[in-house]
Amino acid sequence: MKLITLLLPLTLASAVHAGAPAFRSWAPTPPMGWNSWDNFATTITEEQTKQQADFMAAQLKSHGWQYVVVDIQWYEPGAKSHAYRSDATLTMDEFGRLTPALNRFPSAAEGAGFKPLADYIHSLGLKMGIHLMRGIPRQAVERNLPVKGTSVRAQDIANRASICPWNPDMFGVDLTKPGAQEYYDSVFALIAAWGVDYVKVDDISRPYHEHESEIEAIRRAIDRTGRPIVLSLSPGETALTAAAHVRDHANLWRISDDFWDRWLALRDQFGRLAAWNPHRVTGAWPDADMLPLGVLNLGTRITRFTPDEQRTLMTLWSIARSPLMHGGDLTKTDDFTLSLLTNDEVLAVNQQSENNRPLFDRDQLIAWVADVPGSADKYLAVFNTRDRVRRTPANARYVSPSVRSGAGAAVDADVTGGTKLFLSAEPAETSGEWNRILWRAPRLVFADGKEQPLTELTWAHADAAWDSTAVKKDAAGQPIGIGAEIPAFVEFALPRDAVRFRAQASVESNGRGHEPGPVRFLVVVATPENESKAAGLPVAVSLSELGLPQGTHVRDLWAHRDLGTVEREFAPEIPFHGAGLYRLSPR
């Protein structure tokens, strides 16, 4: 069984050479580029895009970076943040096709669209990409604009029941209606005429199967343009049951919801990339999402990932051959971030390795391996994803049963002798998503019987989906507990004389039409005995696991340093939340 697993990626990869869709040849390696979302949100302008392109051409192009992608709402004149305005007037042509907002992209005047900007980017030896929402603009439907080249109008093809849950711009397109395919054909004909090389279509890969007809329509529309436009599908996570279909229709597709600079989000990508690994083929890439590095969030902050976590991010994306789309402001790139983006030995793993696969996961010490084309060498990536204080059931003072929506669990945990308190909530099953939890009436109990609500204390650290950790209040403004979307944890410093922690843990309705899955709550207490003081942990890999002989030479790709030879086992010490990436060469 293990042998079959290891050989499967090679079997699938060979499919690109015989009978594979032609579009796969347009992305023969995972696309590398920059996307405006993580820093500029909806606000990117023409001048800012040119500045990013100038930096890429000067500093990154020689290392393989090539796409400059303008993300969502380039057609919204008043866009100001990561939020969307439901009353915004969108710019479009007489056929209901979105066009760039002229106050932000002045060269688009007189019907030029993105062509002048694309020409500028092409002049630098780079490629241009844009974002596009699935469907037809609601405002085109309200105005009942004609579909170019047909007698059909927008109201004839719009599916008003198919709407994005988080963006107000579009209705879905009903592909059973005459003129529906022609609408998508007209949109991509316009995009191709602008000289666009890459399109990220959003609100389409989740829920995937409900949108298959529109995915197929977009594939046909791109192919009919005659231009090799790379197609990216978003957001995730794309259903694994769609693997065969998505490989035959897109060059890359998201495997998760939006990925941001949070450790729990990075930790969870290990499992997703491993699950998608058998389905990766050349020209069709599972996409772990953008690289939130450097300056982010409208220039208000830098990445929250530590340097070790940033290397983990780049190492994992490289060994799993995810597309690499940087999200930070390139013009404010610091030396460390630049070193991550320009390490050619690391980038070669992403661009040129073969037969990439997980090797093991030994209690959160993880290894991946890949072949070096044309040689007997191996690439080896090792990861220490453990926390210094392990937030696991084995180390917990309290572990709840599986708690479902509308239910709760009474929490009473001994915290005696602790220095830190960790409240953790994780999915109890893989099927649940977007679960919102509440630690209701969380409080510390002291030896003299007095109690202190945790809502009166400032937490030391919090990590939750969508940065959602918050004190929840009642209608009168009084705090009732600490809520978050999972996976989540919150850390507090423990007063020395605290002896117990008590709360009621519950799962709330997420308000998004998805049935919340069950949740497991943990209470973990740090003590001098269970908090590691080590710099890291050895991640041991035997040469026999890799099929390599004794006396194999090892090179550290991050450090650009030869480490000598190993006889039986290679066991580098890896920092907590850190990674190592090596090339092993038999002698």
Q: pLDDT truncated to tens, each residue of the chain (587 aa)? A: 333 333 334 434 434 556 899 999 999 999 999 999 999 999 999 999 999 999 999 999 999 999 999 999 999 999 999 999 999 999 999 999 999 999 999 999 999 999 999 999 999 999 999 999 999 999 999 999 999 999 999 999 999 999 999 999 999 999 999 999 999 999 999 999 999 999 999 999 999 999 999 999 999 999 999 999 999 999 999 999 999 999 999 999 999 999 999 999 999 999 999 999 999 999 999 999 999 999 999 999 999 999 999 999 999 999 999 999 999 999 999 999 999 999 999 999 999 999 999 999 999 999 999 999 999 999 999 999 999 999 999 999 999 999 988 889 999 999 999 999 999 999 988 655 568 999 999 999 999 999 999 999 999 999 999 999 999 999 999 999 999 999 999 999 999 999 999 999 999 876 655 667 899 999 999 999 999 999 999 999 999 999 999 999 999 999 999 999 999 999 999 999 999 999 999 98
Fold of the domain spanning 2-352 = TIM Barrel (3.20.20)
Residue 421's CB: how many other CB atoms inside 10 A?
26
User: Residue 412: beta bridge partners?
Assistant: 502
Q: Residues of CATH 3.20.20.70 domain(s) within the chain?
A: 2-352
Kindly report, as residue ranges, where domains of CATH 2.60.40.1180 are found in the chain: 379-387+534-585
Output the CA–CA distances (angstroms, integers) from residue 122 to 12, 178, 340, 438, in the order listed. Answer: 33, 37, 25, 51
Cα 26 to Cα 503: distance, rounded to the nearest angstrom: 55
| Pairing, β 301-302 against β 324-326 | unpaired
End-to-end CA distance of the chain, in Å? Answer: 30
The size of the chain, in residues, is: 587
Tokens at 302, concatenated:
């830098």
- In angstroms, the Cα distances linking 155 to 136, 181, 186, 208, 355 are 10, 14, 16, 24, 49
Instruction: For residues 465 and 410, give the distance between their C-alpha atoms in angstroms, rounded to a whole number.
Output: 24
| pTM to 2 decimal places | 0.94
Helices (H), 305-436: 307-319, 335-341, 344-352
Radius of gyration, alpha carbons of the chain: 25
Task: Check if CATH label 2.60.120.510 holds for domain 393-526.
Answer: yes
List the CATH code of the domain at 379-387+534-585: 2.60.40.1180
Range(s) of the chain covered by CATH 2.60.120.510: 393-526
